[in-house]
Amino acid sequence: MKIYTRHGDKGKTQIIGASMIPKSDSRVEAYGTVDELNSWIGYTASILTGKTQEMRAELEEIQQILFDIGRDLATISTDKKHEYVFTDDLSAKQTKWLEDIIDKYVAAAPKIDRFILPGGSPEASALHVARTITRRAERRIVALQEQDSINSNTLVFINRLSDYFFAAARYANVKNDQDDILYRNGNPVFK
């Protein structure tokens, strides 16, 4: 197998349902950023310690789902042959799955009403980085949506995903006995 085909050497590439589009296209930007997020999640999973091993299966499930989402984002809207794989049912089920874990993690961490500094143990910090890359991916998907129609289910899951990473980061600090540090000039922001 040759993984390099040299076809993209001039800056154009293939997506699903179209021949060649520029790599700078907002669609390529969107699923490319999801791929970056997915890789960072892989890195985060690779540095989990004994105390946070239970997150490994969750992170792997999220990676699988991000591939379904990436596939829909990589499909041009004019393509009739392909159907979106991240269906309403799948999206509802998997977003609910995230929400239940969020509720569990939030309940296990000390109550806060102010912003916290993103950090703590290496895995908590990596989860905060995942949170912010998820939000970057969300911004790129919204920018794509302004250019062309997308599977809007993807945005729901991605929005919840950054909240999952916030809750998971706090939970990882609980497991590692590390207190979150509050933003010193903050007012109460969480209700």
Ligand X SMILES: C[C@H]1O[C@@H](n2cnc3c(N)ncnc32)[C@H](O)[C@@H]1O
Sites of contact with ligand B12 (CB under 6 A): 1-3, 5, 7, 14-16, 31, 35, 67, 70-71, 74, 81-82, 115-116, 118, 131, 162-163, 166, 187, 189-191
Q: x-or-dash pattern for ligand X, window 136-165, by CB under 6 A?
A: --xx--------------------------
174's tokens? 């609980």
Strand partners, 182: 116
Position among 12, 15, 76, 114 found at the interface with ligand X (CB under 6 A):
15
* Secondary structure in 3-state letters for 127-138: HHHHHHHHHHHH
- # residues near its own copies by CB under 8 A: 79
Between CA 125 and CA 46 the distance in angstroms is 13
- Residue 81 contact partner, candidates its own copies, Mg ion, ligand B12, none, CB within 5 to 8 A by sort of partner: ligand B12
